[in-house]
C-alpha cells in the first residue's frame, strides 16, 4: 500500500502553507464567508498544526481570515467599506513613495513604465487579465522600490492582494483597465515634466480614489461569488 505523499515539500512549511491557502482563495476554492477545516487542511497538506497555525496568524494579520474561539477560522468577506479604506491607504502610501522616489528615478525608469503600460494594453486586447495584473504590479513597483521603503511596499502589495486576489474573477472590466492605462500615461507625463507633487496628488486623488473609481469597482466586485455587491 502506497503512502499518501504530502502536498508540500520540506522548505519553510509555514510559508508553503500560507501560499497554499492564498492560492485556494485566489482560485475561489476558499470563498469569503467559508470556514477553514483545520483537521482536514492539516491532513491534506501533511503538516502539523504549528505551521498551519502560523500561516493562519499571518493571514489574520493581513485581514484575509478571522480566527475565532474553538479553533474556528472564517475567511473574511470584502465589504465596500474595506475597499474604500484600502484605496485610501494605498493612495496615501503610493503618493509618499512617489515623493521619496522621485530623485532616484531616471529617464530609463519612465521608459520602462511606458513599456509596461504598452504591455498592459496588449494584455487587455488579448483578454489576459493575469498578465495585465502582473504588468500592473510591475508598473507601480518601479517607484515603490525606488522609494527605498520596503515596509511601505509590503503593506501596499498585501493590500492589493486583498483587493484583487480574493478570489480573482475569471473576467475583468475592460473599460476600467483601459482607463487605468490612460491614468498611467498621465502619471508618466507628470514624472517626466518634473512635477513630483502633481504626480503624488494624481496617484492619490485620481488613480486610487474610491470616488473616482467607484463605478468600475462595483462592476468588478459583482463578479465575485460571496460578495456583498
CATH code where residue 69 lies: 1.10.10.10
Is residue 207 in a domain? Answer: yes
CB within 8 Å of 138: residues ≥ 6 apart:
116
CATH number at residue 213: 1.20.120.530
Cis upstream peptide for 167 (omega within 30°) = yes
Give residue 5's pLDDT band: very low, low, confident or very high (50, 70, 90). low
The model's pLDDT over 179-205, given as tens digits with 9 standing for 90+, comes to 999 999 999 999 999 999 999 999 999
In this prediction, residue 3 carries a pLDDT of 52
pTM of the predicted structure, to 2 decimals: 0.87
Considering the domain boundaries, does residue 5 fall inside one?
no
User: How high is the pLDDT of residue 175?
Assistant: 96
The phi, psi pair for 75, rounded to 5°, reads -75, 125
Q: Is position 2 within any domain?
A: no
Average pLDDT over residues 39-62: 92
The fraction of the chain above a pLDDT of 90, given in percent, is 74
Residue 229 belongs to a domain: no
**Structural domain boundaries, residue 121:** 80-221
Residue 6 belongs to a domain: no
Q: Please say which residue of 23, 52, 75 terminates a domain.
A: 75
In the chain, % helix, strand, coil (3-state, to 5) comes to 70, 5, 30
Is 101 within a domain?
Answer: yes
Residues 61 and 118 occupy one common structural domain: no
In a shared domain, residues 95 and 43 = no
Query: Which position has the grid cell 517607484?
Result: 143
What three-state secondary structure class fits 224?
Answer: coil
* 104 in the same domain as 67: no
113 and 210 inside one domain: yes
Average pLDDT over residues 155-168: 88
Instruction: Let me know if 135 is exposed, middle or buried by CB neighbors in 10 A (0-12, 13-18, 19+).
Output: buried
Q: What mean pLDDT is predicted for residues 45-61?
A: 93
Q: What is the pLDDT of residues 26-38, one digit of tens each?
A: 888 898 899 998 9
Number of independent structural domains in the chain:
2
> Are 62 and 84 in a shared domain?
no
C-alpha cell at 193: 515634466
Residue 3 covered by a domain: no
Shared domain for 43 and 98, answered yes or no, is: no
For residue 158, tell me if it sits in a domain: yes
Amino acid at each position: 500500500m502506497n503512502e499518501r505523499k504530502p502536498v508540500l515539500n520540506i522548505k519553510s512549511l509555514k510559508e508553503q502553507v500560507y501560499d497554499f491557502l492564498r492560492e485556494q482563495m485566489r482560485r475561489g476554492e476558499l470563498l469569503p464567508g467559508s470556514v477553514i477545516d483545520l483537521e482536514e487542511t492539516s491532513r491534506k497538506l501533511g503538516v502539523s498544526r504549528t505551521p498551519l497555525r502560523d500561516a493562519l496568524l499571518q493571514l489574520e494579520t493581513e485581514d484575509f481570515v478571522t480566527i475565532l474561539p474553538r479553533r474556528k477560522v472564517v475567511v473574511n468577506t470584502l465589504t465596500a467599506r474595506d475597499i474604500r479604506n484600502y484605496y485610501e491607504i494605498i493612495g496615501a502610501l503610493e503618493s509618499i513613495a512617489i515623493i521619496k522616489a522621485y530623485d532616484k528615478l531616471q529617464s530609463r525608469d519612465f521608459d520602462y513604465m511606458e513599456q509596461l503600460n504598452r504591455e498592459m494594453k496588449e494584455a487587455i486586447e488579448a483578454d489576459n487579465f493575469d498578465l495585465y495584473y502582473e504588468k500592473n504590479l510591475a508598473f507601480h513597483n518601479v517607484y515603490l522600490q525606488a522609494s527605498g521603503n520596503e515596509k511601505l511596499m509590503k503593506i501596499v502589495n498585501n493590500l492589493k492582494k486583498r483587493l484583487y486576489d480574493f478570489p480573482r474573477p475569471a473576467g475583468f472590466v475592460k473599460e476600467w483597465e483601459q482607463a487605468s492605462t490612460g491614468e498611467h500615461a498621465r502619471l508618466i507625463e507628470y514624472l517626466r515634466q518634473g512635477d513630483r507633487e502633481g504626480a503624488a496628488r494624481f496617484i492619490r486623488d485620481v488613480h486610487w480614489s474610491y470616488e473616482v473609481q467607484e463605478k468600475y469597482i462595483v462592476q468588478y466586485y459583482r463578479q465575485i461569488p460571496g460578495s456583498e455587491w
